Amino acid sequence: MLPSSLTVEALKLRIDKQLSKDDGLLLEYLEGAFQQAQASAPLGCGRLLVPSPALVERDEGEPTDTADPVTRTFAVRGQRVMIPDAREITKVEVNNVEVPHEGVDERGYHQAIRTELMDDGTQVDFVVRLDLPRPETWSSENDWSRDNSRRKTGKITGRFGFLTIPKRLAEAIYILAARAYYEREAQFADQVAVGEGATASTYYRQLPPRTRLAFESFALPSGVGGLS
């Protein structure tokens, strides 16, 4: 599902189309480009570009970020957990035992933050890593910490993803969708005409430069991921 900030009408302006006969096809291309933008680097930025939980629609005014936080799971391997796109964390559990935050208990978990600068000048802080304390420092139920054969499962409750898509990423998505449309119109994939009766092979399916730069600027460090 596309976020409201990406529209077929905006794509049509970029490819100089006014009629509605191709709207269904353009929507398909736009949805595909949006999904690619969220793919792992280098073919995407590897970010969650929609808010989770979804924004709450209102009869008047802008949607609000007031829905109940959601819970996502991760595998626990050691004391460091790499996570993507958490705007707020309200609860952390390991094997159903709650881990306190260091702000509540100095023996609790620590959050590493990455700050994203949005196009309107505002800053959004995303948690990209949790450093968990050793279980014996915060829980009497720490038998799992000594049993390497037992599966360790974590849960993070909070708010994830971008509230709005930055303009640089939105433009990169429109460029991908427009290129898909023009490829179909030209009816070729990796061949480009360079002169009368001549063609040249080119790696036409690589990311356009502006799209690649946008994805790179928002991509997280290698190894950040693991939530489901």
What is the extent of the structural domain holding 137? 70-160
Residue ranges of the alpha helices (H) in the chain? Answer: 8-14, 23-37, 167-186, 209-218
Q: What is the CB neighbour count within 10 angstroms for residue 36?
A: 19
Tell me the whole-structure pTM to 2 decimals. 0.79
Identify whether residues 109 and 140 lie together within a single domain: yes
Identify whether residues 108 and 40 lie together within a single domain: no
Identify whether residues 87 and 121 lie together within a single domain: yes
Is residue 227 in a domain? no
Identify whether residues 128 and 144 lie together within a single domain: yes
Give the three-class secondary structure for 101: strand
Task: Point out the domain boundary residue: 143, 160, 177.
Answer: 160
For position 201, which CATH number holds?
1.10.3230
Is residue 61 in a domain? no
Task: Point out the domain boundary residue: 145, 160, 175.
Answer: 160
Task: Point out the domain boundary residue: 140, 160, 180.
Answer: 160
Residue 9: pLDDT over 80: yes
pLDDT in tens, 162-175: 998 999 999 999 99
| pLDDT greater at residue 177 or residue 83 | 177
Q: Which two tokens stand for residue 81?
A: 């957990």
Measured in degrees and rounded to the nearest 5, phi and psi for residue 63 equal -60, 155
Mean pLDDT of 96-100: 88
pLDDT in tens, 117-161: 888 788 889 998 899 887 666 555 554 445 454 667 899 999 999
The count of domains in the chain is 2
Is residue 64 in a domain? no
pLDDT in tens, 29-70: 999 999 999 998 888 998 999 999 999 988 777 889 999 999
DSSP 190: S
Beta bridge partners of 5: none
Is residue 83 in a domain? yes
Looking at every residue in the chain, the average pLDDT score rounds to 82
- Secondary-structure breakdown of the chain: helix, strand, coil percentages, each rounded to the nearest 5: 25, 30, 45
Chain mean position to CA 213: 16
pLDDT in tens, 182-192: 887 666 544 44
